[in-house]
Structures are given as structure tokens and as C-alpha cells.
Amino acid sequence: MQGKPKIILVDDSDQKRATYSDKFRSEGFEVLEAVDGKKGLEMIKEKKPDLIFTGIDMPEMDGFTMIRELKKDPELSKIPIMISSHMNRKADQITAKELGVQEFIYYGFVTVNEVVKKARNLFGEKK
């Protein structure tokens, strides 16, 4: 990978996006943000990021619907995905696995530093 890894954060929580985007930027990532799955999908199609980090429950289009749409495009379907949930629903984990999500993060149980480490592991980077 040349240059900064590009990540798109998709979440309707301003606070959550700010927390993660600040940390990812400080760790050398280029960060783009979207407030829901619909805007996220448009941005992903246009910007073709190296990683997608999305929430699940959002207005307009939820994270799972966005991922299903991405999987229809052979090029976009190869982008690694991390998903974040603040609810401890087993069904969400199962759905994420069925959709090929690489990392399932329980918001509040995994530190921001651990999330960055998991993101780097998806790129095969060690830091």
C-alpha cells in the first residue's frame, strides 16, 4: 500500500466518529466520514477506501444493508470491513460473519488503540 491507508468511518454518532477519526488520523490514516449507510455507500463507491469501519443501527441505511450493497460490486466487495456495535446482540455477530465482516467490535469493550491495532492487522501492518 502506498501513502496513508484510507479509512471510511460510517456512523450516525458524531462523538463516535470524532473519537475514532482523531485516533486514526494521529496514527497516520487518511480518514473520511459518513453519517449513515446511504452516504457511506456513495462515498465508498467514489473514494474506494482501504478499510471500512461502520456502525450497524443508523438512519437512511443501516450498516448491514450498506455491506450487502457493497458485496454486489466485485471490486468493492474486497475492501476489509470492521463493524462496531454498542449492543451485545448475538444475531448481529452472526449476520456480520455471514456478510464476511473481518472484525466485530463491541463499542465500549474494545479500546480505541485496540481498534487501530485490529485495523492495521487487516492491512498486514505491524506497529
**pLDDT tens per residue, range 76-126:** 999 999 999 877 788 999 999 999 999 999 887 889 999 999 999 887 654
Q: How far apart are CA 109 and CA 1, in angstroms?
A: 30
pTM of the complete model beyond 0.85: yes
Residue range 37-78, pLDDT digits in tens: 999 999 999 999 999 999 999 988 999 999 999 999 999 999
- Contact status, residue 70 vs residue 77, Cβ threshold 8 Å: yes
The Cα–Cα gap between 7 and 88 comes to 25
Instruction: With respect to residue 39, please indicate whether it lies within any of the assigned structural domains.
Output: no
Is 18 a domain residue? no
Residue 87 lies in a domain: yes
Domain CATH for 69? 3.40.50.2300
Containing domain of residue 77, as a range? 48-53+64-127
